[in-house]
Amino acid sequence: MTSPLRRPLIAGNWKMNLTLVQSVELARAVKDGVAAAAGETAVCVPFTSIAAVAGVLKGSSVRLGGQDCFWEASGAFTGEVSTGMLVDAGCQMVILGHSERRKLFNDTDETVNKKLAAALKAGLTPIVCIGETLEERETQKTWRVLETQLAGGLQGFAPADLSKVVIAYEPVWAIGTGKTASPAQAQEAHLFVRGQLEKLYGKAFALGVRVLYGGSVTAENVDTLMAQPDVDGALVGGASLKKDSFLRIMGFATA
């Protein structure tokens, strides 16, 4: 069970899924079910659905996020979305550096760092994703990868600037594969991440920061993952697209 210093967060990452009508329907179900949630609940939806979902979630405690942003405020950046636009459309959060973006769209620790600065400036809660590939795990590079991604992505800030930041540990080999990290593997990595954050930003910061686990989280495995002392929540892809499974994950039980 997570420390009382940290409020658990279950965040759905809808990725590139759902039409407007489907988004509104799922958002309604999440809103209607949030009273039974065990912690804070968020949905990170496609850009095209943000405004409509914001309308649905108005007045509820469900937080709304984008799945990426650009670091400039405005201008000739065809296809990009700024943090100000996310806020304007109704977001309070944004996912940064998801492994799919790192792999397919060239996000790097350096660009994640710039996006993080823009997100914090706009008052958004950033969910910064880190995680090793299967090859990196098998060649004993996991800790080095996590250390590099954290140091690079979070560099140049004071602890107070980062008070809103959420980290998501998402082993790439577990994303969308049905191969979840075991609770022990997740705990080991989360403890390492917290240790790195302590080195970078001090003990108080490390104790307060939420570290989510992501990678094939389901209604069936959420409880054992959430029972780990350093797992403060989950970033949920596939299982966040179905009302029943996401509502069950929101209502995780650790006892």
Distance CA 210, CA 193 (A): 10
Residue selected from 56, 181, 222, 236 as contacting ligand PGA according to rule CB under 6 A? 236
Instruction: Name the segment binding ligand PGA (CB under 6 A); options: 18-26, 130-138, 140-148, 230-238.
Output: 230-238
> Does residue 167 bind ligand PGA (CB under 6 A)?
no
Cβ nearer to ligand PGA, comparing 27 with 181: 181
Annotated catalytic residue 98: yes
> Does residue 226 bind ligand PGA (CB under 6 A)?
no
Task: Tell which positions 203-222 bind ligand PGA, by CB under 6 A.
Answer: 214-217
Which residues, 6+ apart, have CB-to-CB distance to 174 below 8 Å?
Answer: 180, 181, 214, 215, 216
Cβ nearer to ligand PGA, comparing 201 with 237: 237
- Cβ–Cβ under 8 Å, residues 193 and 167: yes
Set 98, 100, 132, 190: catalytic member:
98
> Does residue 233 bind ligand PGA (CB under 6 A)?
no
Q: Which residue is nearest to ligand PGA (CB)?
A: 237
Annotated catalytic residue 132: no
Task: Tell which positions 10-29 bind ligand PGA, by CB under 6 A.
Answer: 13
Set 40, 100, 132, 170: catalytic member:
170
Q: CB of 156: closest distance to ligand PGA in angstroms?
A: 26
Instruction: Name the segment binding ligand PGA (CB under 6 A); options: 29-37, 74-82, 229-237, 247-255.
Output: 229-237
Site size toward ligand PGA (CB under 6 A) is 13
Active site residues: 98, 170
Residues binding ligand PGA (CB under 6 A): 13, 170, 175-176, 214-217, 235-239
